A and B are shown apart, each in its own frame.
Chain A
């Protein structure tokens, strides 16, 4: 299963809801304002790192780039993907749950 989160972790608790429901082996893709959760140096980084022990994390590159955020500032282990990679993930993980 692929979970997408498109809201900033500072604005909503959608990421936390998502992580409570993401089973081991599933994946989380951070898109739009959700990409801020992929960055080092936020209060959410530890929560994400902990979740990464059981769940794969991806972040959409074009949304990082739009917001002036460099891939080098992304938490180690989170894979940056492009739109093609997004499509591949939906195929690979099957069902998509959008935490809007």
Chain B
């Protein structure tokens, strides 16, 4: 059916329902594989044109720390990838204020522009989602 209709109609046909997806990142990079795997899934989700938001809290805020150099530990430095998310229309990045402050960090220490929200604001945002995936 998609072959004969073509154009805009096809997009509507394939598009279906757009759901709100939230990815919750709570782990530091490198010590475990969670941060990298979570980022991979976020990139995959971009292919499905969904309403995607990313939240960084607890040790997850360390994923965004500027100045990561991984040569000496022989691992892939994936922090530049967060800067590429905008190109995939993923631009809702939220970082928890309390988690940043507890770690002596500010938004200026991060590789991307983010919106800093309180735990309460993030809780509300979370409650609005259709799907929440935690890494």
Interchain pairs with CB closer than 8 A, number: 67
Decide yes or no whether B103 CB sits under 8 A from chain A.
yes
Contact B75 A66 (CB under 8 A): yes
Binds B, one of A7-15, A16-24, A46-54, A89-97: A7-15
Interface of A is mostly: loop
A-side contacts of B102, CB under 8 Å: 10, 42-43
In B16-47, which residues have CB < 8 Å from any A CB?
27-32
Decide yes or no whether A6 CB sits under 8 A from chain B.
yes
Residues of chain B at interface, number, CB under 8 A: 23
Shortest beta-carbon distance from A30 to chain B in Å: 11
Contact B72 A66 (CB under 8 A): yes
Most buried by B among A68, A69, A70: A68
Contact A69 B31 (CB under 8 A): no
In A30-48, which residues have CB < 8 Å from any B CB?
32-33, 36, 39-43
Contact (A66, B103) CB under 8 Å given A8-B31, A8-B59, A33-B30: no
A-side contacts of B28, CB under 8 Å: 8, 11, 33, 36, 67
Question: Contact residues of B with A, CB < 8 Å?
Answer: 27-32, 58-59, 62, 65-70, 72-73, 75, 77, 79, 102-104
Question: Contact residues of A with B, CB < 8 Å?
Answer: 6-8, 10-11, 32-33, 36, 39-43, 61-63, 65-70, 82
Since A36-B59, A65-B70, A68-B67 are in contact, a sample of 6 more A-B pairs with Cβ atoms closer than 8 Å, ordered by chain A residue number, is: A11-B27, A11-B28, A11-B58, A33-B32, A36-B103, A41-B104
